[in-house]
Amino acid sequence: MKSRKRKGILARLFRVFAFRKKTAKIGLYGPPNAGKTTLANRIIHTFVDENEDMGVSTEVPHETRRAVRRGGILIDLRSKSVQNPGSHSNPDSKSKRERAKLKLDVVDTPGLATKIDFHEFMAYGLEEEEAKRRAKEATEGVIEAIKWLDDMDGVVLLMDSTEDPYTQTNIVLIGNMEARGTPVIIAANKMDLSDAAPQRIINAFPQHPVIPISALKGENMEKLYEEMARRFG
């Protein structure tokens, strides 16, 4: 465990000094329905093309069952306005924004879960055969998402602010990434909902930066991008 951590840190240091302009590969991880695809689409719409989507986002869990990679995204906070029209710009963030530039590959991953039961798909009106097929694909998707972790330079871990953050999935994932030495940013998503409590996530994982966002409404995204530029750049 220790040697792996050391290896991870050394590998990152090597990359920082040897390939300063290397594109950072960032994985969007989290439990099903946390908003990974919504965030991936938000990043693409803001920095690449408003008409391009990385995936389809629905309320059915495990909608993304294969990891999807989109390369060469330039997050440049100087040239793009990433503010939500309704939100207010922070005057202090101007100097940070000038530095915030990051080239990255984004990988939208299937949701990680400890149990996948076809009955949960049937609750959304799917036929039994289709539900079983989805459950199998979702299970393969979890394994695929975990295999991708080996390639990641950083991880944005999405959590649903309306849910209890003390889940086995969150704790196992964070513990493993700490052991690997992979930098993590926690995005406390769905902050626009009335029952959102991002403070619970901040209290649960004080060792990592936690940024409350709404990927759907585009709230507080600038702060997330700044943190990404700082941690993964």
Residues that bind another protein (CB under 8 A): 112-119, 128, 131-132, 135-136, 139, 142-143, 146-147, 149-151, 168-169, 172-173, 176
At 155, which helix (H) or strand (E)?
Answer: strand 154-160
Query: Minimum CB separation from another protein for residue 111, in Å?
Result: 11
Query: Minimum CB separation from another protein for residue 130, in Å?
Result: 10
Pairing label, strands 24-29, 210-212:
unpaired
Pick 177 or 224: Cβ nearer another protein:
177
Query: Minimum CB separation from another protein for residue 131, in Å?
Result: 7
Paired tokens of 147: 């295999």
Asked if 24 and 151 touch (Cβ cutoff 8 Å), the reply is no
Question: CA dist 97 to 22, 41, 183, 227, Å?
Answer: 21, 22, 21, 10
Q: What whole-number distance in Å separates Cα of residue 147 and Cα of residue 110?
A: 12
Query: Minimum CB separation from another protein for residue 176, in Å?
Result: 4
